[in-house]
Amino acid sequence: MNRNMLYQTLIRAARTEKVENGIPSGFDARVLEAIQKIEPDETLSQLRHSASVLWKAAFSCAGVAAVVCLTAVVFVIQEDGSQEYRPGGARDLGPVTEVFNGAGDEIASVLIEDLEAGDLW
Amino acid sequence: MESEAPVALESVSDAEIVRAVRAGDTEQFGVLVGRHQTRLFALVRRYLRREDDVADLVQDVLVKAFSRLDSWRGEAPFEHWLMRLATRACLDALRSQRRHREETLTDLSAEETEWLDRHAVSPERNDHRSEAARSLVRRIFEQLSPAHRMVLTLLELEDRSVKEISAITGWSQTLVKVRAFRARAEMKRVLGRLQTDAFL
């Protein structure tokens, strides 16, 4: 028996099959009922979606912050003309530095006075 | 005073109804169900035999469509998108059925065996419109792998083009051609087994 001929005959047979086109009664109501049941889950999935969007926004913000930091560092180096990185706040302490320097001198003079008076030994 | 004429639902496009459903009017989804359920049932009945399974699957497809309504961007007609969802659901159902089925081709009925005998003697005269032939081809299709069964159904029974099958299934056109070639080969192998079982 020719297999190709059998194949063609069976395909022709399958094509003659009439597909029923009836719909169960009340099917649309059944679907709407099923949809009402899933709506709370849908709200949850929307919340999940919002959360993922917020995470993406947070990562974008972190990226922008990193770029701003890098830019600030580059500007500090250019201002100094040096390649050494020094935080801006530590460069010029002004009066604070003077107070500490003065304090050192005062401590030294008190120690010398004590030595001379023989109080320490 | 002239009152505004109510808009007939038939004249409202699928896209407009989808917009209304997205805006929160879920009852409008019933209109889409009413419009497309006949085609959905016809499609699913190609692959599933039991009416309960068919109705359950169509319901699942429609519920899934409702949940994923935001993913329909309106580039293709809503019906195409829906049919694509249904086709994929059918493929999943066939895969799941195949895992649980144990029926083999040795369970042929007397009418089917007789039809095969007649075909062996005079293939030109054998009636392809008989119920035995149809039931035999149903059995053979059930022996095929789900993807092969789907591609043969779309290509040979529904006369779809390779491009259309590609759009419906999401497979590339090359994959559709490869699967069609392999599906025909698999079906002929099953037929060979059938002939061996029947005549040896």
Select the CATH number that applies to the domain covering B8-101 from these four: 3.10.129.10, 1.20.5.510, 3.40.50.970, 1.10.1740.10.
Answer: 1.10.1740.10
pLDDT at position B65? 93
- Chain A residues whose CB is inside 8 A of the B188 CB are 3-4, 7
User: How does A18-50 read in b/e, with b if 16+ C-beta sit within 10 Å?
Assistant: eeeeebeeebbebbbeebeeeeeeeeeeeeeee
Burial zone of B68 (CB within 10 Å; 0-12 exposed, 13-18 middle, 19+ buried) = exposed
Residue whose entry in the numeric block shows the structure tokens 């050192």: A104
Answer whether A27 sits within 8 Å of B33, measured CB to CB.
yes
Answer whether B191 sits within 8 Å of A7, measured CB to CB.
yes
Residue A16, in any domain of the structure: no
How far is Cα B50 from Cα B155, in angstroms, rounded to an integer?
23
Q: What are the φ and ψ backbone dihedral angles of B41, each rounded to 5 degrees?
A: -60, -45
Give the number of other CB atoms < 10 A from CB of residue A74.
Answer: 11
What range defines the domain where residue A59 resides?
Answer: 26-113
State the pTM of this model.
Answer: 0.66
Measuring CA to CA, which residue among B157, B132, B131 is closest to residue B144? B157
Give the number of other CB atoms < 10 A from CB of residue A109.
Answer: 10
Amino acid at A62: A
pLDDT at position A41? 55
pLDDT at position B81? 92
Q: Computed from CA positions of residues A82, A88, A89, A94, in that sequence, does the dihedral angle turn out positive or negative?
A: positive
Measuring CA to CA, which residue among B24, B36, B45, B96 is closest to residue B65? B36
Answer whether A32 sits within 8 Å of B42, measured CB to CB.
no
What distance in Å separates residue B159's CA from the closest CA in chain A?
10
ipTM score for this prediction: 0.78
pLDDT digits (tens, 9 = 90+) for A34-93: 988 876 555 666 777 788 888 888 888 899 999 988 888 877 766 655 555 555 545 555
pLDDT band at A94 (very low <50, low <70, confident <90, very high): low
Q: Where in chain B is the domain with CATH 1.10.10.10?
A: 104-200
Residue A12, in any domain of the structure: no
10-residue stretch averages of pLDDT, chain B, 200 residues long: 52 87 87 92 91 94 92 87 93 84 68 82 74 86 92 92 91 94 92 69
